[in-house]
Chain A
């Protein structure tokens, strides 16, 4: 095995491991974003106005 191939082998091992580390990290980021920024049904604008007007009447 030539020194160039040895270097390539090293880059391949580190590279494949590196991609998995990166992607696992991105996976965790997605899980965190999904947990802390969950989907919430937006209230229609009309309801919001009604709520405010009810509060002000009180």
Chain B
């Protein structure tokens, strides 16, 4: 009896499998040692190991005795949860239940930064087409710039399921790397004088928001978004549904469940299921490296878009009423990391400059902006592709 019969997994192991097991170990290391998005990177890392051991029963295999396919649990999860978009949409309910929109009511104009900082999505999409990707793949790669994992997964699973693995890894990795990616880009685009701008909004920051307005907000937004772009409703609607559960005041138990149990449970399933696409034959390709590079590109140009938009607005604002351009960079969806990074940068320049509140307002705007961007891409691409 040869090795092939005794230990078929070892006999079937290739260097590509070993590289992917290494990738899995690196993701686990980043999750545990560096605390980079551990809720997603750890299941994805473990899943990458699970699916790259030859003949893994976690994936669908052909039974040599009968010649019939034996379904693997991760394939079942994928078909049930990702292909149908159920997992990412459930995550949206959880995220909606976690978002407090009152900072937006205090500084509503900062919502526009949530639009400007989506620039990287579209710029990267164009760049990806220049590299030979078709429009659906390019849109899926560009959406990494939404800095919003579930949105990236929804768009990629619909337009480019073959690229879902690298897109998810890039999206979640760069979200964790916001404190490293954003500061140098901001420093490059702003002068010290600009970074020292104080935003006098103490009265606004203490403003109290009506409960009725916070309850009406998710309902009105859902109706408005649904009328303008019905394709965006699954994304925006689930986000707003989660938020309504939070704000209504009579479903506190459900709100807590959405924020904790639902979020945790679906995140575990989402992470390990995405890993089912991280098999050596699908992941070890030049495409993966290109996608990871383009993801970084998207994050850089998101930051660029937000900062430049703030500088543009400052051209029309009077002295004393200018916006600190660093706030523009908070228009991405990585919440509250981006706001925290900008606040810390502001304090580094001037310890008495408190940018946290406007930064959080712009960052909440970014959470809406990323979902809107996803909805717009889901609407436009099928029409034109």
Contacts and interface: CB of A to CB of B under 8 A. Distances in A.
A25 B108 CA distance: 11
A25 B223 CA distance: 12
A37 B224 CA distance: 18
Interface residues of A, number: 30
A16 B112 CA distance: 11
Interface string A1-29: 01011011111101110111011111101
Highest count of chain B CB atoms <10 Å: which of A5, A18, A19, A23:
A19
A52 to B, nearest CB: 23
Given A7-B384, A30-B105, A12 B372 contact: no
A18 B376 contact: yes
Contacts of B373: 15, 19
A12 B123 contact: yes
B278 to A, nearest CB: 27
Contacts, number: 116
A46 interface: no
- Give the bracket for the number of chain B residues in contact with chain A: 35 or more
B368 A23 contact: yes
Highest count of chain B CB atoms <10 Å: which of A2, A20, A26:
A26
Nearest to A42: B211
Interface of A is mostly: helix
B125 to A, nearest CB: 5
Contacts of A23: 111-112, 114-115, 365, 368-369, 372
A25 B221 CA distance: 9
Highest count of chain A CB atoms <10 Å: which of B114, B129, B208, B377:
B129
A56 interface: no
B104 interface: yes
Interface of B is mostly: helix
A8 B143 CA distance: 13
A53 interface: no
B224 A16 contact: no
Interface string B99-125: 000001100110110111011011101
A34 B128 CA distance: 42
A22 to B, nearest CB: 5
A11 B381 contact: yes
A24 B380 CA distance: 19
A8 B130 CA distance: 10
A9 B130 CA distance: 11
Interface string B213-229: 10011001100110011
29 contacts: A4-B138, A8-B129, A11-B122, A11-B377, A11-B384, A14-B380, A15-B373, A16-B115, A16-B119, A18-B229, A19-B372, A19-B373, A19-B376, A22-B115, A22-B225, A22-B228, A22-B229, A22-B376, A23-B114, A26-B368, A27-B109, A27-B112, A30-B108, A33-B216, A33-B220, A34-B105, A34-B108, A39-B208, A39-B210
Interface of B: 104-105, 108-109, 111-112, 114-116, 118-119, 121-123, 125-126, 128-130, 134-135, 138-139, 207-210, 212-213, 216-217, 220-221, 224-225, 228-229, 365, 368-369, 372-373, 376-377, 380-381, 384-385
